[in-house]
Amino acid sequence: MNRPLRILVCAFGPFPGVPVNPSQQLAADLLRLRRPALCGTEIALEVLPTRWDALGRLDARLHAFDPDAVLLLGVAARRRRVSIEMLAVNATRAAPDAARRHPPARRLAADGPPLLRSHVPAGPQANALRRAGIAALPSRDAGRYLCNATYFHALAWAARQSGRPRPVLFVHLPRREGRPAGVSRTRMGRGLSSILLALAAGARRPV
């Protein structure tokens, strides 16, 4: 690799029912953490509006930044544990976004596959969080809202790239606070940094 390793971290802005999105806060915390293993790594943050038309903005950011790995963070306020999402489905539901608009179609990609899987093992990531005192588990349901949609777009982008693998992972943060009950924001940030390290290691792995 003739340039520094690049990692793109994506989070969301507010949406109906969640006036302050904890994914945005925790993503900013994550970028402020200093991890020696990530020294020299270029980490960029993209905060996406919680709108269906923001998918084009994500596609453009992926093309322009050309990351070696992608970490997406979103909130699932009804869940109580961190969910490490294993896959994204090529489907939407008629749910309004922050602009009160609905998805333009039932499928995210008219000619795309029914689902796309991440090549990042979810089990080890969930185990690492649990060892850090953060309740977490693998999940096969990223929903049908924008979290799933951005995951599908990022996985589709990674599948089109040649050469080394481009690890992509979506992490659903629980509750309105974005962390399990009893877990501090500091601990949550450190836990997420372990996932960032795993993605960096996967991006460096030879083909």
Q: What is the CATH number of domain 6-204?
A: 3.40.630.20
pLDDT recorded at residue 1: 56
β-pairing, 69-76 vs 168-174, is parallel
Cβ atoms 92, 108 nearer than 8 A: yes
The lowest-confidence range among 12-16, 55-59, 168-172 is 12-16
- What's the chain's Rg over C-alpha atoms? 16
Average pLDDT over residues 84-92: 97
Query: How many other CB atoms are there within 10 angstroms of residue 174's CB atom?
Result: 23
**Which pair of tokens denotes residue 187?**
């601990």
pLDDT recorded at residue 207: 58
Place 158 in a pLDDT band, splitting at 50, 70 and 90: very high
What is the rounded CA–CA span in Å between residue 200 and residue 169? Answer: 12
What is the rounded CA–CA span in Å between residue 169 and residue 71? Answer: 5
pLDDT recorded at residue 64: 97
Domain boundaries, the chain: 6-204
Quote the percentage of the chain above a pLDDT of 70: 98
pLDDT higher than threshold 90 for residue 14 = no
Which conformational region is residue 182 in: left (phi greater than 0), alpha (psi within -120 to 50 degrees), or beta?
left
Q: Which CA distances in Å does 78 have to 18, 81, 103, 115, 123?
A: 11, 9, 22, 24, 21
